[in-house]
Structures are given as structure tokens and as C-alpha cells.
Amino acid sequence: MESKTIARQCSLCEAHCGILVTVEDTRVTRIEGNPDDVLSRGYLCPKATALGALHHDPDRLRTPVRRVGDTFEPIGWDEAFREIGQRLRAVRAAHGPSAIGMYMGNPAAHSSSVLYGAALRVALLTRNFFSASSIDQFPQEFVAWRMFGANVLMPVTDIDRTQRLVVLGANPAVSNGSITTMPGAKQRIKDVRKRGGTVVVIDPRRTETARLADEHVAVRPGGDLYLLLGMLHVLVAEGLCDERAVRAQCAGWDDITALVADTTPERMAPHAGVDAETIRRLARDHAAAPSAVLYARLGVCLQVTGTLTHWLVNTINAVTGNLDRPGGQMFATPLVDALRFGKYLPMGYGAWTDRSGTHKSFRTELPATVLADEIRTEGPGQIKAMITYAGNPVLSTPQGGRLDEALASLEFYVAVDMYVTETTRHADIILPPVSALEREELDVVFPVFSVRNNARFDARVFEPPADGLEDWQILARLITELVPLPARRFTGRALTGVLDQLSPLRLTAAAVAAGPYGILRRGRAGLTIDRIRRAPGGIDLGPLQPRLRTLIGTRDRLVQLAPEDFLTAARQAIDTVDAPTDGYDLQLIGRRHLRSNNSWLHNIESMVKGRDRCTVLMHPDDAAARGLVDGAPATVESAAGAIVVPVEISADIRPGVVAIPHGWGHREPGVGWNVAAAHGGANVNLLHDPARTDVLSGAAAVNSTRVRVHPVTPESGAAATVSTAAAG
Ligand SMILES: Nc1nc2c(c(=O)[nH]1)N[C@H]1C(S)=C(S)[C@@H](COP(=O)(O)OP(=O)(O)OC[C@H]3O[C@@H](n4cnc5c(=O)[nH]c(N)nc54)[C@H](O)[C@@H]3O)O[C@H]1N2
Ligand SMILES: Nc1nc2c(c(=O)[nH]1)N[C@H]1C(S)=C(S)[C@@H](COP(=O)(O)OP(=O)(O)OC[C@H]3O[C@@H](n4cnc5c(=O)[nH]c(N)nc54)[C@H](O)[C@@H]3O)O[C@H]1N2
Ligand code: SF4
Ligand SMILES: [Mo]
């Protein structure tokens, strides 16, 4: 029996842990953490083992398929591309470029094929481009653009050196960090306390991260903005800010002090759901610590106040002198230094809007929540054909339950995905890439957000099949089909030949050579792809260095503390109280599980076995008041929709709040996920109103939806989407 062990990374989430994959004959028999990995130092989570199962999954598509009635049949690559080209060009010729919409999902960012995703987006020239970013980090990019002058300048939390870590709306003990790549986050958090520092978690649920902390503050969902306004008031009123740092680094100080003049902890406390004394103490402790950092993520991003909250997170870090210094918020020096060029990218904010005129484009995108309506609403600019790449928006985005029907109504839909999912089941043609273990690459995305500078190579575990294509090759062929060419039969072939030579790895090699560690700058000592490839644990490039001064893209080269529209929106938010409406007396938030990854690991038996994960988590008092018992099915209902899921009772969640994970609801007919279908669950995004978005960036506000929960009655059960466990 032939056995080999290959070092690479797990690309399932942002942590990109270093792994050792052992293969015996043609099967993956073991996946372990790589102790030599310079960033993850041997850590891996249970999801990593799914990489082997995904590779061997019989449900994974290995050839392109074409819809025939209600099923799919295999088809050759050339035939597929020919048909796609003809159909898409016909749509564009008849209705214009915006008639082709594109949605790019999360896994796209986890492979360097994303370069070709971006290129396809450009080739389409459509206004109807969407991505998972608008149900993820849009508010953070928006804030980075307005405060630092470039959307990529989202600061990294220097967790390895801070003496005070305050986490709001993130659960790194499960997620392993996001927009701060910190594999093995649990250990890193424990280490803060081990070196005498403090950890505070602000979250409506006592999460896995909160359990590691010195203090847990159970904020009201959506209450963080008020909590931070209260903290900022204390910092200003008590003279606790680092005014020297502010004067050297920032503009807008006077506007900030005016804004928070009346936001006393007493006034903010009821909105935050946190008592005034705690707010005051959090402010004082932040200022007193030798270094301190507020780290915020999805829980505060996906709120109507997402942009405002992230603005105040950065502002508090800046005015306490914790921006761009060790132990605070910092910026990496990645081997391909995208941060230096961010300021030259126009954000095109408001260059166009969705057709209802509600949402402005931001970095050439519209919010994903308008996708169903842009397909369904007739008239000029209507989407007639779609391309989805590595995304499952039917489950991952709030669409008022209309996206299924919308996708089914398209003239033509092509999906780049290796599964027949709730989304891709509507496609006319599905183009599957080779498996992750069949590609080799050098990740250049996540080093931009890593807690240490590093360079790590992903080696191939398996040779791809002779007729297998990587995502970038598929996307390059789609580009070839879409760009206007004279004499398509001949020039198309020539263009394919050219693009085939421009693999992301080749492009990356050139970018590395020109980057901060490359041979063009460092001569013979410089890094090359070959050098990185020969270091199976990667190369450590040292701790983060202060460098905002060289990166900042604002006109006066100062951090903008007080963009006018942020101030206006903040004043409005201070005057608005978010009260329960129409008997929807609970607030719904999300949660993630260590064995689940958005919508697409539920087809792997080891990821779904055991207790049902798609449950509504609620406080014992809330359950008792509604006559609900642990494990029994309940109807969760909002103004937008209803689902049925089992109840899970826990005192870890704030009374008045319930939590349901997203990415479930795999029972639709025709979905090619056989294991997932048996576990079902329900799609929580049916409960979220697509019209409820972050006011400034347009990101979906899914973390404080008003709901009611009650035992299943015959009527409510029939009307709702039922989860397997609840039904069974
Ligand atoms: N209510 C609620 N909704 C949420 C969230 C939440 O917290 N609450 N979280 C949001 C977040 S943060 C995100 S990132 C989004 C994710 O939203 P999406 O990106 O839309 O969905 P995923 O579940 O990641 O689906 C990924 C798809 O890509 C396919 N895929 C996997 N790897 C590859 C690959 O290498 N190539 C190709 N071509 N396809 C691949 C999978 O088969 C799957 O169909 O969900 C969001 N939705
Ligand atoms: N195991 C696992 N890991 C993952 C993923 C996964 O699906 N599974 N997904 C990956 C992706 S795509 C992403 S973007 C990251 C996300 O990474 P995180 O943001 O760390 O993950 P979440 O679990 O969504 O954490 C959000 C937290 O916010 C809390 N919260 C909700 N509303 C509020 C609020 O109003 N205020 C405050 N203060 N807190 C609130 C929730 O209780 C939750 O604990 O995780 C990545 N890692
Ligand atoms: S945390 Fe888990 S899923 Fe994420 S990269 Fe590491 S091993 Fe993979
Ligand atoms: Mo995400």
C-alpha cells in the first residue's frame, strides 16, 4: 500500500490552518494539524476532516451537468461552454449587460481562483453583481473606506500582544476569527489572560468565547451602538482619551466630542440593555490598560446599525491610542501588498442603485437581499440570466422566500459549484471545479488579515483528473465566451490559450516578486514561490508593524473620526428606540457550530451526526412562559415568514433573545445532498426581512429580527417550513 503525507492548508474557513493530509492508495485516511505551521501551530478544528470526506463524497459532481426536465444529465465541457456562451450572449444582445446577474459566494475567497471571479465580474459589465460580502463584512469595508480611505484597510486585532481583548458580536472560539485570521483562537484568548491581560465578551449569548473570558456582558441585540456611545461619552467626559495620539493621527475630534456630549451611560443603558455602571467601567478599563482592543464581527455587522457600530469600534480604539500600535488594531504586511493599492480603487458608492432606488452600489455591488426582486420585477434592467459561483444564496440570504421561484423563472442560469444545492438545483448547467485537495496555490487573501505576517503554500494532495478544471479555468472559459470577439471560433480559441497560461499561481508569483518580501526589493534574499513551497509549515514573516501612515488613503492622510453622514445617522439612531412590534416579543440572532460551515458541510456524516443543530435556543423563562419544552417542535414566526424547529433550552442566552443557526433547510426536492437532506433543518433566512438592512452599507440586518415563538399548532405547522427533527 502506498502512503504519503502532504502539508497544506484547510481552506474551509478564514483560519486556513496548516494540515497534514495522509493518503493511502487513493483515499485520505488522516488529517492532522501541522505542528510546524507558522500560524496555526498544530491547531485544527473538527471541520478539517471534512476535506477528505468532501473529496470522496459520491454526491460531489465530477462532470458538468445539464438540466433535462427535473433532473440533470452529464455533458462534455466543450458542449457546456458552447451552449452557455450562446445563451448568455443572446440574453445580453436582447436586454443589455445588466440582464446577466452574478452572485459570488464565500468559498470563492478561499481559493486564488477568486482573481478570475473578479475578472468575470468586469467582463460582464453588469450592474447586477452580488456577493456574500453584503451579508458579511460590508459594514466593515464601508467604515474602512470612510475612516482610512480604502475598503481593504479593515484593521486586524493584534490578539497575540494585547493586554485587554474586548469581543463584541464575534465568537472566535467557534469561528476561529474572521477579518482577523487567528487559527486556534481559543488558545490565543487563553494566552491573553495567561500573560496577565483581561478578556471581555459582549454578546447576548454566553458563548463558547464568553466562557473563556473574565467577564461576559449580555448586551441587547442591536444595543452595541448605544453601549459604545456611552463608553465614548465617559472617555471624553473623564479626560481618558490619548489626545496626543488623536491629534497626530485623526481628524474630526471636535465633532466626536459634540456627538457624545449627552450620550451618558445612564441615557444609553436602556437602549444597550446594559447597566450604566458596567458601561462606565468598560470605558475606564479600556483606557487604563497598557494596550486594549475592541474586536467586533458579524453580531454587530449584520444590524441596521452595522456601519455605525464598527465606526465606533475603530474610533474608541483610535482615541485610546490603540490604533496602529502593538496590542491594538493593526495592519499586516502581506506578501502581496494589496493594502498599498486599496486607496486607488474607486468605491463607486451610489454610482447606481437597485431599481427600487433604495440601495446604493458599493464597490460595484448591490446588496444580495435585492436579488430575488431584481429577477422578478419586470422592466428595463431586469435580470434574465444568472451566474452563481461558489454561493448558496437561497439559504444564505434573506429574500422573503422569493429567490427559489425567481431562479426558476430565469431564461438561463449557470452555476459554478460541485453540488446540486438549494440554489444550483435551478440551474440549466452546473460546472463543477476539481476538489480543494486537487489544487495547488498560494493564498494571498487571508495574509492581509493575519495576526502574524506569513507565507504558506498549499500543495496538491491528488492530481486532478485529466478532464478536471479548476474554478479559474472554468471562469476563464466563461470570460472567453462573454467578451466580444471578432471571428469567435478562432479568436476564442486563441484567448483560451492565452488565459490558460495565466494561472493564478503564475500571476501570484509575479506579484510576490514585486511585493515587500520579493526578489525585486530584496534581491537574492527575496521570497519566491519555490522557497515558500519548500517550507511545509510556511515562512513566518514576523509580528505586525505600525504602518497606517504609509497606507492611509484619506485626502489629509488622517483617520476620519467624523464622516458627516455617520454623524447624522448616529444622531438619528440615538433618537430612535427599537421597540417590540405587533406581539413579536423576542429578538432573533444567529449562531455557528464548530461542525458546521455556512450551508455546505451538512452532507458529511461526521459533521451532522449527533444532536440536532438547527434548533431555536431560548432562555428557560421564555420557554416556560410559552409552554415550550426542550426538544419539542416550536413555530418561530416573524412578519416575513415562519419555520418549525425544535426548542433547545439554555440559561446561556439573554432572556428575550432566541438564536437559530443559518445554512439549514435541505429538504427541497431535487437537491443532490443525500446526507444533508436527511438532516434537513429549516432556513432561518425565511424569517428575516430583506428590506431590513444596515442603513449605510446595505448589508442584511439579520441579528435582531423580531419574532414570536409558540408550540406548533396544526395551522402554524402547516404554514411553516418544517425541520426534520421537529417533524419526526
Ligand atoms: N441568517 C444568517 N445568514 C447568514 C449568516 C448569518 O450569520 N446569519 N452568515 C453569512 C455569511 S458570514 C456568509 S459568508 C454567507 C455565506 O453564503 P454563501 O457563500 O452564499 O453560501 P455558502 O453556504 O458558503 O455556500 C457555498 C457554496 O459554494 C460551494 N463551494 C464550496 N467550495 C467551492 C469551491 O471551491 N468552488 C466552487 N465553485 N464552489 C464551492 C458549496 O458547494 C456551496 O454550494 O452566509 C451568510 N448568511
Ligand atoms: N464553525 C464555523 N466557523 C466559521 C463559520 C461557520 O459557519 N462555522 N463561518 C465562517 C464565516 S463565513 C464567518 S463570516 C465567520 C464569522 O465569525 P464570527 O462573527 O465570530 O461568528 P458568529 O458565530 O456569527 O458570531 C457572532 C456573534 O454575535 C453575537 N450577536 C448577535 N447579535 C449581537 C448583537 O447585537 N450584539 C453583540 N454584541 N453580539 C451579537 C452572536 O451571539 C454570536 O456569538 O465565521 C467563520 N467560521
Ligand atoms: S478552523 Fe477548522 S475549518 Fe477553519 S481552517 Fe482551521 S481546521 Fe479548517
Ligand atoms: Mo462569512
Q: Is the residue at 335 inside a domain?
A: no
Q: Give the burial string for 426-464 (b: 16+ CB within 10 Å, else e).
A: bbbbbbbbbbbbbbbbbbbbbbbbbbbbbbbbbeebbeb
The set of residues, in sequence order, having a beta carbon less than 8 Å from that of 258 and lying 6+ positions away, is none
* Residue 136 Cα to ligand 2 middle (Å): 10
One domain, residues 357 and 495 = yes
Dig out the grid coordinates for 488 from the structure: 469567435
Q: Tens of pLDDT along 552-597?
A: 999 999 999 999 999 999 999 998 866 667 789 999 999 999 999 9
- As a whole number of angstroms, the distance between CA 64 and CA 699 comes to 33
- As a whole number of angstroms, the distance between CA 49 and CA 156 comes to 28
Q: What is the pLDDT of residue 579?
A: 66
Q: Tens of pLDDT along 71-120?
A: 999 999 999 999 999 999 999 999 999 999 999 999 999 999 999 999 99
One domain, residues 319 and 391 = no
* Residue 590 Cα to ligand 4 middle (Å): 12
Provide the 3-class DSSP secondary structure of residue 604.
coil
Q: What sign results for the dihedral spanned by CA atoms 118, 121, 125, 131?
A: negative
Provide the 3-class DSSP secondary structure of residue 445.
coil
Q: What is the pLDDT of residue 489?
A: 85
Exposure on the CB side of residue 500, measured as CA atoms within 13 A = 7
Q: Which residue, of 454, 474, 502, is where some domain finishes? A: 502
Q: Is the residue at 118 inside a domain?
A: yes
One domain, residues 585 and 716 = yes
385-389 and 100-104: which strand pairing? parallel
One domain, residues 627 and 496 = no
Q: Which residue, of 297, 330, 363, is where some domain finishes? A: 330
One domain, residues 264 and 116 = no
Best of 45, 209, 449, 593 to mutate for ligand 3, by most ligand atoms within 8 A of CB?
45
- What is residue 429's DSSP assignment? E
Asked if the model's pLDDT at residue 289 lies above 90, the reply is yes
- As a whole number of angstroms, the distance between CA 131 and CA 643 comes to 25
Stretch 418-447: mean pLDDT: 96
- Closest protein CA for atom 30 of ligand 2: 299
- As a whole number of angstroms, the distance between CA 312 and CA 650 comes to 31
* Residue 644 Cα to ligand 2 middle (Å): 22
Residue closest to 99 by CA, chosen among 504, 477, 519, 381: 381
Write the DSSP string, 144-173.
HHHHHS-TT-PPEE-TTT-SEEEEES--HH
β partners of residue 166: 200, 294
* Residue 302 Cα to ligand 2 middle (Å): 10
Ligand 3 proximity of 10 Cβ (cutoff 6 Å): yes
Distances (CA, A) of 363 to 127, 130, 381: 11, 10, 19
Ligand 3 proximity of 186 Cβ (cutoff 6 Å): no
- As a whole number of angstroms, the distance between CA 516 and CA 56 comes to 39
* Residue 588 Cα to ligand 2 middle (Å): 14
Q: Is the residue at 520 inside a domain?
A: no
One domain, residues 496 and 352 = yes
Asked if the model's pLDDT at residue 725 lies above 70, the reply is no
Ligand 3 proximity of 16 Cβ (cutoff 6 Å): yes
- Closest protein CA for atom 2 of ligand 3: 45
Q: Which residue, of 502, 519, 548, is where some domain finishes? A: 502
Stretch 14-23: mean pLDDT: 97
- As a whole number of angstroms, the distance between CA 549 and CA 670 comes to 54
Asked if the model's pLDDT at residue 723 lies above 70, the reply is no
Q: Is the residue at 646 inside a domain?
A: yes
- Number of Cβ within 10 Å of residue 674's Cβ equals 12
Residues touching ligand 1 (Cβ under 6 Å) are 105-107, 111, 132, 135-136, 298, 389-393, 396, 416-419, 421, 433, 436, 471, 590, 598-600, 662-663, 684-685, 688, 702
Asked if the model's pLDDT at residue 420 lies above 80, the reply is yes
**pTM score, whole prediction:** 0.97
Write the DSSP string, 569-592.
HHHHHHH-----BTTB-EEEE---
One domain, residues 617 and 687 = yes
The set of residues, in sequence order, having a beta carbon less than 8 Å from that of 555 and lying 6+ positions away, is 149
- As a whole number of angstroms, the distance between CA 101 and CA 367 comes to 12
- Closest protein CA for atom 4 of ligand 1: 396
Least confident of 24-28, 296-300, 482-486: 482-486
Best of 110, 135, 171 to mutate for ligand 1, by most ligand atoms within 8 A of CB?
135
Q: What percent of the chain has pLDDT over 70?
A: 97
With contact defined as beta carbons under 8 Å apart, do 173 and 212 qualify? yes
Report CA 20 to chain centroid distance, whole Å.
Answer: 26
Q: Total structural domains in the chain?
A: 3
The set of residues, in sequence order, having a beta carbon less than 8 Å from that of 239 and lying 6+ positions away, is none
Provide the 3-class DSSP secondary structure of residue 696.
coil
Write the DSSP string, 64-80.
-EEEETTEEEE--HHHH
Q: Is the residue at 94 inside a domain?
A: yes
With contact defined as beta carbons under 8 Å apart, do 272 and 223 qualify? yes
β partners of residue 323: 329
Provide the 3-class DSSP secondary structure of residue 340.
helix
- As a whole number of angstroms, the distance between CA 477 and CA 488 comes to 13
Q: Is the residue at 16 inside a domain?
A: no
Least confident of 142-146, 182-186, 605-609: 605-609
Q: What is the pLDDT of residue 167?
A: 98
Dig out the grid coordinates for 333 from the structure: 504586511
One domain, residues 317 and 357 = no
One domain, residues 216 and 285 = yes
Q: What is the pLDDT of residue 728?
A: 31
Q: What is the pLDDT of residue 716?
A: 63
* Widest Cα–Cα separation across the chain: 74
One domain, residues 165 and 296 = yes
* Residue 136 Cα to ligand 4 middle (Å): 5
Ligand 3 proximity of 45 Cβ (cutoff 6 Å): yes
Domain holding 222: CATH number?
3.40.228.10
Best of 599, 666, 687, 704 to mutate for ligand 1, by most ligand atoms within 8 A of CB?
599
One domain, residues 203 and 323 = yes
* Residue 44 Cα to ligand 3 middle (Å): 6
* Residue 132 Cα to ligand 1 middle (Å): 7
Asked if the model's pLDDT at residue 526 lies above 90, the reply is yes
* Residue 359 Cα to ligand 4 middle (Å): 21
Stretch 182-208: mean pLDDT: 98
One domain, residues 352 and 302 = no
Ligand 3 proximity of 91 Cβ (cutoff 6 Å): no
Q: Tens of pLDDT along 399-415?
A: 999 999 999 999 999 99
Domain holding 647: CATH number?
2.40.40.20
Asked if the model's pLDDT at residue 530 lies above 70, the reply is yes
Index of the ligand 1 atom closest to the CA of residue 592: 7
* Residue 703 Cα to ligand 2 middle (Å): 10
With contact defined as beta carbons under 8 Å apart, do 671 and 420 qualify? yes
Query: Which structural domain, as residue segments, surrounds residue 714?
Result: 578-727
Domain holding 469: CATH number?
3.40.50.740
Q: Is the residue at 208 inside a domain?
A: yes
Show the CA angle centred on residue 177, arms to residues 5 and 327, nearest 5°.
Answer: 110
Given its phi and psi angles, is residue 118 left (phi above 0), alpha (psi -120 to 50 degrees) or beta?
alpha
Residue found by looking up cell 475606564 in the block:
284
Q: What are phi and psi of 358, to 5 degrees?
A: -85, -40
Q: What are phi and psi of 505, to 5 degrees?
A: -65, -40
Q: Tens of pLDDT along 666-696?
A: 988 889 999 999 988 999 999 999 999 998 9
Q: Is the residue at 178 inside a domain?
A: yes
Ligand 3 proximity of 21 Cβ (cutoff 6 Å): no
Average predicted confidence (pLDDT) for the chain: 95
Asked if the model's pLDDT at residue 24 lies above 90, the reply is yes
